[in-house]
Amino acid sequence: MSDITILDYGSGNILSIYNGFKKIGVDVNVSDDEDVISKSDAIILPGVGAYGAVMNNLDNYRKLIYEHVDNDKPLLGICLGLQVLFTSSEESPDVEGLNIFEGSVKRFDLPDEFKIPHMGWNQIKVNDTPTNDTTLLDNVDGEYMYFVHSYYIEPDDENLITSTCDYGMNVPVSIGRDNVHALQFHPEKSGKAGLEILKNFVDII
């Protein structure tokens, strides 16, 4: 079994993700130890809270994350763990993201009938193109996933986008390129379809 580590940097909903992997029979590490993280076959990058606070907590792990990605090891970002992969966010304009992908994170600006945050279940549409990697989303096109977010990603390269949902606009909700995958929704809270995504990630490793 591959060595998977949930990065415990003080800004993640770690227990639910850990339990999600347990449900599919996979033991994962939870660690803030740089040695453990650097030796892992795959990293889960969670994130809950404000963009600036999360990036402040992640700062000590920047080099490790870049090395992990450069070594073609799989990485899965979840929720804010997706957003920090980009250059910047309107939530914390002066804070630099990980910038693994160029692009920004925008706050929803929607008619009043659309409540912010976008919270609850919504249907995803898988966007399969030749230049992105949708293997993470095998067998979940059209399934409902659980969301809690007030901001959404706007990649410079739209071909990164592997799925979208409809919430007053066509919202990009996942990306995939080579060994890096990330989801705006919470697979660990999305029932059977969400667990299918975690299984797919294990298969990718």
What the block records as the tokens of 89 is: 């966010």
Strand order in the sheet with 103-107: 88-89, 103-107, 151-155
Q: Which of 68, 118, 149, 186 is catalytic?
A: 186
β-pair type (170-177, 180-183): antiparallel
| Catalytic residue check, 186 | yes
Q: What is the largest CA-CA distance in the chain?
A: 48
| Catalytic residue check, 96 | no
Q: HSE (CB half, 13 Å, CA atoms) of 103?
A: 21
Q: How far is residue 183's CA from residue 42's CA, in Å, rounded to a whole number? A: 16
- Contacts of residue 14, defined as CB under 8 A and 6 or more positions apart, other chains included, come to 6, 8, 30, 46
Q: Which of 79, 91, 118, 196 is catalytic?
A: 79
Q: Which of 91, 143, 188, 196 is catalytic?
A: 188
For residue 69, give the nearest of 93, 45, 35 by alpha carbon: 45
| Catalytic residue check, 79 | yes
Task: Just list the catalytic residues.
Answer: 79, 186, 188
